[in-house]
A and B are shown apart, each in its own frame.
Chain A
Amino acid sequence: MAPSLRTLYVRPNSQSDKSSIPSQQPIGKHSSLLENMSPMKLCVPGERLCGVEDCIPGTGTYLRHGHIFASLAGYVLRKNEGEELPVISVVKETEAQLLPDVGAIVTCKVTSINPRFAKVHILYVGSTPLKDRFRGTIRREDVRATEKDKVETYKSFRPGDIVLAKVISLGDVQSNYLLTTAENELGVVVAHSEAGVQMVPISWCEMQCPRTHAKEFRKVARVQPEYLQA
């Protein structure tokens, strides 16, 4: 037996398969190996999917010389969305990697506060968790829509709060993602009181500790059902 680490790298549930010596068949751009038993077509990056006259390129694809190619390894999906041509896209796992984009609703955790802005870590884009943390900034003027000059960041957020916010800009060289909470649905969704108990919102700008009944100021979000999971 040749010394090999492969025994450890085969997950118990996967069938033991031999390493295949590459078949000596002539190499074409589409090897027949790809058109296999699976009812749904799979592809690898660089595989040509179709021409632009057949489909509209969707996620996980790119255009080159009038053809649509796959940029991900995954399942090929064709969807008719009322247009003349179906949209072709490549899907990997259940959710693709997302980066925060302008207009996206993100869930973040407040890390620090000063009179001009609050710094946050972005944890979720929509309902997709980010594997790596991205930092964002909520400036004082972006906390709420009215009476912007009267905003006090300390009365809006505290470190550790979970906040729903919207991306307004990817920021420039110095700054991080710029976020806003200036909508009724945006703001603090989870906060802990000084006693360490999760507080209950009592108005758009106050939350109360159920144990000590102390009130604390926050920019409270009117939570919408679809964001409840965060």
Chain B
Amino acid sequence: MAAGFKTAEPLEYHRSFLKENCRPDGRELGEFRATTLNIGSILTAEGSALVKIGNTTVICGIKTELASPTVDGPTKGYVVPNVELPSLCSSRFRSGPPGEQAQAASQFIADVIESSEVIQTEDLCVEKGKLCWVLYCDIVCLDYDGNLLDACIIALLAALKNTQLPEVMINSETEQPVVDLEKKRPLKVHRHPVGSSFAVFDKTILIVDPTAEEESLSTGLMTVVMDEEGRMCCLHKPGGTALSGEKLQDCVSRAVARHTEVRKLIDKVLESMKMDT
């Protein structure tokens, strides 16, 4: 009976739960799904992290390469983030070049990196005007069940904290770089941006951490990115229902609380990794 109602009238089905201040998966409106984290499992990447928020699974791997800096920024390196939504992660995506959602997510992550200053690109400089590091941050979704952006930011942040750069010298005779893979230094992570996503139902009801189904039925989506000092790095609200300032304030306070939770999780996992070695 319930299954039939759910398939035939998904919106009514969700409304009947929201009326009772809960959601079909048993969560309260302001409750995130269980978030788990695994750091440093991909040995071929210089830094990596796998994040699960409920069913949504995202993996970020960071590869470092050497390049010449641009003429505009001779003391700056590059951070190149890309989000991939392969056909593997949901039946809604096709294989081939990235679709609109993947492109938008990549741009969003790039904006978060730039505005939050999570990495100072000056740290990536090896020799001014000659050589710098490129951080390729490839984020792959393995299971798409909504709230992609939050998962991407956590995966990126945890992977950056796991990244080690090998030592590079420039040989003064040949002018060629020499890399020592034995000596590595951790990448300096200056800020810790954490995102919180919200969905608006029927123009008034606000829920956090929407699932894929909730996303598709909602009338608006919004992501707030905060850093550890309670500053807003990024606010992403692609159209949808208009929101009052009051509601927006609610979202911001929820995002601040979420930041503490996620920060604790990352620190805990990093700590347990230190214990193991």
Contacts and interface: CB of A to CB of B under 8 A. Distances in A.
- Do A and B touch directly, given a CB cutoff of 8 Å in the complex? yes
B7 A129 contact: yes
A124 B43 contact: no
Given A8-B36, A230-B8, A3 B43 contact: yes
Contact of B1 (A1, A8, A162, A229): A229
Contacts of B36: 8
Contacts of A230: 4, 8
A3 B48 CA distance: 11
A26 B129 CA distance: 64
Nearest to B2: A229
Contacts of B271: none
A5 B38 contact: yes
Contact of B4 (A4, A124, A132): A124
Interface string B178-201: 000000000000000000000000
B108 to A, nearest CB: 24
How many of chain A's residues touch chain B, expressed as a range? 10 to 19
A8 B7 contact: no
B276 interface: yes
Contact of A8 (B40, B42, B50): B50
Nearest to B37: A8
B251 to A, nearest CB: 28
A41 B212 CA distance: 37
Contacts of B7: 123-124, 129
A3 B1 contact: no
- Chain B CB within 10 Å — which of A8, A229, A230 has the most? A8
A225 B20 CA distance: 29
Interface residues of B: mostly helix, strand, loop or mixed?
Answer: mixed
B71 interface: no
B41 A123 contact: no
A109 B9 CA distance: 10
Contacts, number: 34
B21 to A, nearest CB: 24
A5 B8 contact: no
Interface in A75-119: 107, 109
Given A1-B276, A3-B43, A132-B91, A8 B38 contact: yes
Contacts of B276: 1
Interface in A1-48: 1, 3-5, 7-8
A109 B43 contact: no
A72 B3 CA distance: 25
Contacts of A132: 91
A136 to B, nearest CB: 16
A7 B38 contact: yes
A229 B5 CA distance: 8
Contacts of A162: 8
Nearest to A132: B91
Given A8-B50, A8-B52, A229-B1, A3 B40 contact: yes
A143 B248 CA distance: 51
B90 to A, nearest CB: 12
Nearest to A130: B7
A229 B4 contact: yes
A182 interface: no
Nearest to B12: A198
Contacts of B1: 229
A87 B50 CA distance: 47
A38 to B, nearest CB: 28
Given A123-B8, A230-B8, A5 B91 contact: no
A200 interface: no
Interface string B34-58: 0010101111000000101000010
- Chain B CB within 10 Å — which of A5, A190, A229 has the most? A5
Contacts of B52: 8
A3 B61 CA distance: 14
B3 A3 contact: no
Interface in B116-175: none
Nearest 10 A/B pairs, CB to CB: A3-B41, A229-B4, A8-B38, A5-B41, A230-B4, A229-B1, A1-B276, A162-B8, A129-B7, A123-B7
27 contacts: A1-B276, A3-B40, A3-B41, A3-B42, A3-B43, A4-B41, A5-B38, A5-B50, A7-B38, A8-B36, A8-B50, A107-B4, A107-B8, A109-B8, A123-B7, A124-B4, A127-B4, A129-B3, A129-B4, A129-B7, A132-B91, A162-B8, A190-B8, A190-B9, A229-B1, A229-B4, A230-B8
Interface of A: 1, 3-5, 7-8, 107, 109, 123-124, 127, 129, 132, 162, 190, 229-230
Given A8-B50, A107-B4, 7 more contacts: A3-B43, A107-B8, A109-B8, A123-B8, A124-B4, A127-B4, A190-B8
